[in-house]
Structure 1
Amino acid sequence: MNRELPVFIRSLPLVLAGWVFAPLIPAHATELPLLFSDGAVLQRDQPLPVWGWAKPGSQITVTFDGGTAKTHASSSGEWRVELPVHAAGGPYELSVAERGGETLRVRDVLVGDVWLASGQSNMEFPVAKAQNARAEIARAGDAGIRHFKVPRSWSDKPEPRLAGGYWRAASPGNAGDFSAVGYFFARELRTRDSRVPIGIVDSTWGGSAIEAWMSAGMLGADATVAAEKIRAKGAAAAQAATQTRARIAAWNTAPPSPEAWAAAALEESGWAGISVPAQWETQGYAGMDGVAWYRKSFELSAPETKGELTLGLGQIDDSDRVWVNGQPVGGMDASWNVPRVYRVPAAALRVGRNTIAVQVTDLGAGGGMAGSAEQLYLRAAGGPLRSLAGEWKFRTADVRLSSTQDDINQVDTALYNAMIRPLQPYALRGTIWYQGEANAYPGAAFRYRDLFASMIRGWRADWSAPQLPFLWVQLAGFHSGGDTAGESPWAVLRESQSAALALPATAQALAIDIGESNDIHPRNKQEVGRRLALAARAVAYGESLVHSGPVFRAATFDDTKARITFDLQHSALAVRGGGRAVHGFELSGADGHFHPAQALIDGGAVVVSSEAVVQPQALRYAWNDDPKQADLINRDGLPASPFRAERTRATLPQQTKQETR
């Protein structure tokens, strides 16, 4: 589904991959990590580690911009040198020579700032899908912005080598594939100082859980047990791929045109049965992405054909085109979580047998006609709802197998081993992170605060950089459907993200006000990049500026109201839209039931009260997955982060029993 956001390529052969294998190179050949390839960006103003592999015992000479470093390969063929600190500039050439052997040359190397961009699909989300994509791509002509995409890969053990990847300079021909958040972040930094090149190392995987990005040590886990779990997932992936291939082996042709398979009179004897609603990957088509078709017939009486018919087809993952009796009636693109409801004109209907044909395009993960049974129905003019849930006819048209098992990105250490460990010790300026949606469910959302802090510390230890700037995007507003009257996993996850601000050299960019209720992938990545760049300017570059909205500091309660103070970074409180009345606050009394509250800005504080709560005991702000009503900002237009507090404890609360279930 669109959550995963892989690049969809038509008519690829069926493949299954994911295990990381070392590149095939001649025995004892001199080798550099793929990060040291043409067009690379190296980190300025820091010692520069350069490493690789060669014939055991051989002498290695590394030369860069007139400087030279020498060493000998170890008995296992590994070698490493450290080049001296270098100012921003370039292009230069990096050469690695083995005495008596070959010389490797890496050309067009720039020295600037290197940022690791990691997380799940909102960081992976490409420029081509972003707001105003066509214009953004057309203007992407800055060779000082370079992007290295680490391919999706996983392993049961820490790997020394990446599975692939290469550097590309931003241009209209390739910027569409760059991480949108990473690209717009880099562009903002280039605006700050155009003399400093920016390199983005994009190591992301849509739908991934934070645990997959952590080492066994960071998780406090047994590495042997973690490896066995990954191997088991790999074996399951191989078996599932074999089963999927067998199911679709006979369907090796696509229709000559969509209309051919949308026709009312179509021979369906070669089609399979499939249950609807349900994703096809749960019904024997694991790992399958691409285009497949569904068909179902229904009967209409003469009176039922006299008026318009309403057709409900559930939540189709991801895109669809729909026909009734060969007549097109609707379709949506990349809208995996939006229920389809289409109107069928009377002119398209027939007395007796009628046929629905649905072409589904899955962009990755899941796939098919999903949602709930209640969302699958037809209603003829003046008639009752008739369910369309049950068995439909199904066959594939233009599909491929995912190169990876969809849920391997949920498994402890699997992505760290293949997508983070091989990057070390490449010198970095800092990390930007956008992840958390996959952990925003009861229990996991609260545990995230410990995992997140452990991961930040662990990555910093891996790079021997305890103050390495670590910046992240707090989850955007989105109607997840997971809220209850008493709790919001997305709000708890945001709170867990905010808790990591207790670590040094950290900052978060809020996106709660620029989300899209019906799309987990909001398209305004330009503003996300801008806010991350503000955070970088404060944390990584030492500038004195307002880089976040109001941050909750403390709450004091009396018999009728609560007064909240904030860290304002020399800004001031404001309300989006103007005035002093703030929305999005709730108060509760001793019974623990929250009620909407009235709130007013009072200087540098907000005073909150509610006629329904005589003696407030607790408060919360923007405490749901999609808090559209929340409008507290600072005068710089940056939103306040969600928070909660209690009368006896105006800090982050302890985990409740409800959250552990």
Structure 2
Amino acid sequence: MGEPTQTKTVATGPAPGANMSGLASDIGDTVDKPCGTAALRPAAIFSHDMVLQRHRPIPVFGTGEPGRTVIVRVSQNGSAEPIKILSRTASGTAVSASDSVSAFTTVDDHGDWLVTLPALEAGGPYELTVSDRSGITLTYLRVFVGEVWLAGGQSNMELELRNSAGADAAVAASADPLLRFYNTPKTGVIDTDAEDHAIWQVSGPDTSGYMSAVAYYFARKLRAELGPDVPIGIVDCYIGGTSITSWMSRATLETSEAGRGYLARFDAAIAGKTEAQFEAETTAWKTKFDAWNDAIGKARAAEPDITWDTLNARYGECPWPPPVTPTSQYRPTGPYGTMIERVAPYGIAGFLWYQGEEDEAHCDSYRELLGRIIDEWRGLWNDATLPFLIVQLPQWIDKNTAAAGADPLHWPVIRNAQWDAARTVPHTFTITTIDCGEFDNIHPADKRTPGERLADCALHHVYGRDDIAVDGPAVASCTETAGTVTVRFDHADGLRFDGTVPGTYGEDGNDPSHRSAIDSGFEIAGEDGRFRSAEATIVADDTVTLQAADATRATAVRYAWRSWGPAPLFNGNGLPAAPFRVTVR
């Protein structure tokens, strides 16, 4: 049977309970966030308890009256630890100690300002002040300098720690004064009231539940590995159900055929409708969605083991997608302008990206768009070398599609695009999660595995920890002799088979060296181009041989090339082989 070609639209939706959560509930005595006024207003991301990026010049920015002088100062303010200022010299980096560091600028004609402080070493707590020469002074307390990462994407990055596997124990043990996060308000239009409620929060049982679970596990591991005195900050910036094009500018989308297609479909969907129609459609949908989401949340809290089959039977399917409107947070370019541009260019070490589910219907264009978003985000931060870490999509298929044998094979294309970006775009890295996922649940609860693999990826590639393994078995060569295909792998020490699909790994009765054709995940294509399942045997430390029934001369091999299917190949570090498709030489 050839590859299916039908288009299938998936309702990915927001992660349960994540919409606009994690913001402070009050302004005033509870939050006490220095927001400023139209005369001088720092960007919303600046608040008490923030983490500033170490080892790089520190941008502080906002808006104000043109011509006004803006002075930014970081000071000890009673801290026993001096501020360590880094400077480049002919012989390397010099470190000097001071009780303060400052810089100033003038608000430009457009009402924008940006002050750049010198690079600092990790430390704190410090005090950051933003002032002018007319008596305005905004003071931010308990400021630390450390490592900051932006976590972006859609619902599987959005899924919060409180809704992930092992949530109760993880939240209870989450107290860490040097792990902090900022939840960027999820909006389709700029909402300054929501931004005024957005604050940096210190990880603990009362706060961490509203943090991205993937980002939390990433940050927790960095805290453990980078040293006890290195603070970690996470900028949570995601919305469930968003396309990759939601996080890009119109100008960038218009430069590619793929982007223009998304824009044309959006423009056609809103053509001819009035503002009143958009408002009525949005209100009706939001009322229905909020009621559904509330019912689901209460049911899961009351019955932690309840299945989605039961939930769907009781409350119906998730009301998705929302109506298409000019102000929707799900529209192309929407959160790019209301979230990404609102936090850029806050100092960061790099990006974490977990997205792609929403774009499966247009999977063939994903690789082009992925390259463009990497370029655009790096451009916003004025740094073409900022690391971009990608979570390759895990396994998933809905049960009706599986029962009908109608896998459209879109997710393998998305996964391949994500893997190719790591091979071809500098300073871009992809982690494999093909051993993760849940059948018929597009929001798998295990977020510790992808979070910690992202941390290992950063530790290895960004922080120089060569002792941390990050690579699963990777194809080095693929040849055929007398009807047998031989695949040799790099990073193959301890090569073995384990289980078949997520949920079966580590089970008793596992044969570590052989898999039948139905369970191997390997397929061979003959000269007719049709792929046939192949029997697989590990015959050496780095080699697997394949044989498929009734195959003519082999032309290609692929592995784990299904939305949901066998993926049993691992190395001795417990890292899975990534899905691949290669030509037989």
Distance 1:61 1:135, change over 3 A: same
Residue 149 of structure 1 is matched in structure 2 by 183
Q: Does 1:644 align with 2:567?
A: no
Distance 1:555 1:236, change over 3 A: farther
Residue 619 of structure 1 is matched in structure 2 by 557
Q: How do 1:307-318 residues align onto structure 2 when only pairs under 5 Å count?
A: none
Q: Secondary structure at the match of 1:81?
A: strand
Q: How do 1:580-599 residues align onto structure 2 when only pairs under 5 Å count?
A: 580-582=513-515, 583-599=520-536
Residue 95 of structure 2 is matched in structure 1 by none
Residue 393 of structure 2 is matched in structure 1 by 475
Determine the C-alpha separation between the residues in 1 that align with 2:46 and 2:271: 32
Determine the C-alpha separation between the residues in 2 that align with 1:463 and 1:490: 30
Determine the C-alpha separation between the residues in 2 that align with 1:230 and 1:113: 43
Q: Secondary structure at the match of 1:31?
A: strand
Q: Secondary structure at the match of 1:96?
A: strand
Residue 490 of structure 1 is matched in structure 2 by 411
Q: Secondary structure at the match of 2:176?
A: coil
Determine the C-alpha separation between the residues in 2 that align with 1:520 and 1:592: 31
Aligned residues: 509
Q: Secondary structure at the match of 1:415?
A: helix
Residue 569 of structure 2 is matched in structure 1 by 632
Determine the C-alpha separation between the residues in 2 that align with 1:624 and 1:422: 38
TM-score, length basis structure 2: 0.78
TM-superposed deviation, 1:538: 1.3
Distance 1:406 1:209, change over 3 A: farther
Residue 419 of structure 1 is matched in structure 2 by 339
Residue 464 of structure 1 is matched in structure 2 by 382
Aligned match of 1:169 in 165, 182, 202?
202
TM-superposed deviation, 1:70: 1.8
Q: Secondary structure at the match of 1:143?
A: strand
Cα distance per residue 1:594-616 (max 9 Å; x no partner): 22111122331222111321422
Residue 280 of structure 1 is matched in structure 2 by none
Letter in structure 2 aligned against 1:32: P
TM-superposed deviation, 1:124: 0.2
TM-score, length basis structure 1: 0.70
Q: Secondary structure at the match of 1:521?
A: coil
Determine the C-alpha separation between the residues in 1 that align with 2:564 and 2:426: 29
Residue 335 of structure 1 is matched in structure 2 by 308
Contact 1:162 1:423 in 2 (8 A): no
Residue 657 of structure 1 is matched in structure 2 by none
Q: Does 1:185 align with 2:218?
A: yes
Q: Does 1:447 align with 2:365?
A: yes
Q: Secondary structure at the match of 2:554?
A: coil
Determine the C-alpha separation between the residues in 1 that align with 2:207 and 2:307: 22
Determine the C-alpha separation between the residues in 2 that align with 1:487 and 1:560: 29
TM-superposed deviation, 1:217: 3.5
Distance 1:581 1:123, change over 3 A: same
Q: How do 1:289-308 residues align onto structure 2 when only pairs under 5 Å count?
A: 289-291=289-291
Determine the C-alpha separation between the residues in 2 that align with 1:465 and 1:244: 38
Q: Does 1:517 align with 2:439?
A: yes
Gaps of 5+ in 1: 10-22, 246-283, 293-316, 322-329, 341-357, 368-401, 649-661
Contact 1:150 1:164 in 2 (8 A): no
Determine the C-alpha separation between the residues in 2 that align with 1:467 and 1:143: 30
Determine the C-alpha separation between the residues in 1 that align with 2:68 and 2:298: 59
Q: Does 1:198 align with 2:198?
A: no
Cα distance per residue 1:156-188 (max 9 Å; x no partner): 9x99x9686211111101111110000011001
Cα distance per residue 1:532-585 (max 9 Å; x no partner): 1110111211111311311234322334122223331x7442222452224111
Letter in structure 1 aligned against 2:394: A
TM-superposed deviation, 1:512: 1.6
Aligned match of 1:551 in 461, 474, 479?
474
The 10-residue stretch of structure 1 (430-439 or 571-580) with the greater mean CA deviation from structure 2: 571-580
Residue 535 of structure 1 is matched in structure 2 by 457
Q: Secondary structure at the match of 1:90?
A: strand
Residue 46 of structure 1 is matched in structure 2 by 56
Letter in structure 2 aligned against 1:111: V
Determine the C-alpha separation between the residues in 1 that align with 2:330 and 2:115: 36
Aligned match of 2:158 in 106, 114, 124?
124
Q: How do 1:555-594 residues align onto structure 2 when only pairs under 5 Å count?
A: 555-568=478-491, 571-576=493-498, 577=510, 579-582=512-515, 583-594=520-531
Contact 2:434 2:567 in 1 (8 A): no
Distance 1:71 1:26, change over 3 A: closer
Contact 1:116 1:203 in 2 (8 A): yes
Determine the C-alpha separation between the residues in 2 that align with 1:152 and 1:636: 38
Residue 389 of structure 1 is matched in structure 2 by none
The 10-residue stretch of structure 1 (556-565 or 587-596) with the greater mean CA deviation from structure 2: 556-565
Contact 1:588 1:594 in 2 (8 A): yes
Determine the C-alpha separation between the residues in 2 that align with 1:486 and 1:610: 21
Question: What RMSD in Å do the two structures reach over aligned CA positions?
Answer: 3.7
TM-superposed deviation, 1:231: 11
Distance 1:34 1:407, change over 3 A: closer
Contact 1:445 1:490 in 2 (8 A): yes
Q: Secondary structure at the match of 1:50?
A: strand
Distance 1:615 1:406, change over 3 A: farther
Contact 1:119 1:433 in 2 (8 A): yes
Cα distance per residue 1:401-443 (max 9 Å; x no partner): x9996994553211211111121111110111111111123xx
TM-superposed deviation, 1:513: 1.1
What fraction of aligned residue pairs are identical, expressed as a percent?
33
Determine the C-alpha separation between the residues in 1 that align with 2:554 and 2:182: 52
Determine the C-alpha separation between the residues in 2 that align with 1:35 and 1:407: 22
Distance 1:366 1:180, change over 3 A: same
Cα distance per residue 1:200-219 (max 9 Å; x no partner): 11111111111111122332
Contact 1:207 1:409 in 2 (8 A): no
> Whose Rg is larger?
1
Q: Secondary structure at the match of 1:496?
A: helix
Q: Secondary structure at the match of 2:42?
A: coil
Gaps of 5+ in 2: 1-10, 20-32, 76-99, 499-509
Larger relative helix fraction:
2
Determine the C-alpha separation between the residues in 2 that align with 1:586 and 1:643: 11
Distance 1:540 1:508, change over 3 A: same
